Amino acid sequence: MLLGWLGAHKFYLGRPVSGVFYLLFFWSGIPGLLGFVEGVLYLVQGDQEFQTKYLATTAPKALAYEPQATYYGDPIDTLRRLESLRQEGLISDEEFEAKRRKLIDRIG
C-alpha cells in the first residue's frame, strides 16, 4: 500500500502496462486512490485466493513453491514426511503421488 500510487503492485503482479499508466497519471491522485482501494482488497483476500487469482500465472518459477523431497535415509520416513506435507496442504495430491512414484522407482 506504500507504493500503490506509483503502480508498484502492478509491476509485481506482472501487469506492466497498468503500472505504466499508474506512473503516467500519479500526479492526478487517481492512481493513489485506486492503489489504496486495491491494497485494501488484496489485504482482505485470503492467501490462497490471492495466490490463485494473481500469482498463479505471473510468479516466476524461482519464486513458486515446489517442495523437494530428499531420498536420503529411510524411504518409509520419506514417505511419512511427504504424507504429512500433503495432509498439511503444502503439496497437492498429484504432487504427492508423483513424488511417491519417484521414490518407489528409486528403491525398486
pLDDT at 72: 56
Instruction: List the Cα angle 92/43/22 in 5-degree steps.
Output: 110
Residue 31: C-alpha distances to residues 10, 44, 55, 65 (Å): 11, 20, 22, 32
Contact predicate 4/36, CB 8 Å: yes
Residue 75: C-alpha distances to residues 21, 39, 86, 88 (Å): 54, 45, 16, 20
pLDDT at 57: 56
Instruction: List the Cα angle 83/86/91 in 5-degree steps.
Output: 130
Helices and strands: H and E segment counts in the chain: 6, 0
pLDDT at 59: 46
pLDDT along the chain (108 residues), means of 10: 68 77 75 77 79 63 52 74 88 89 80
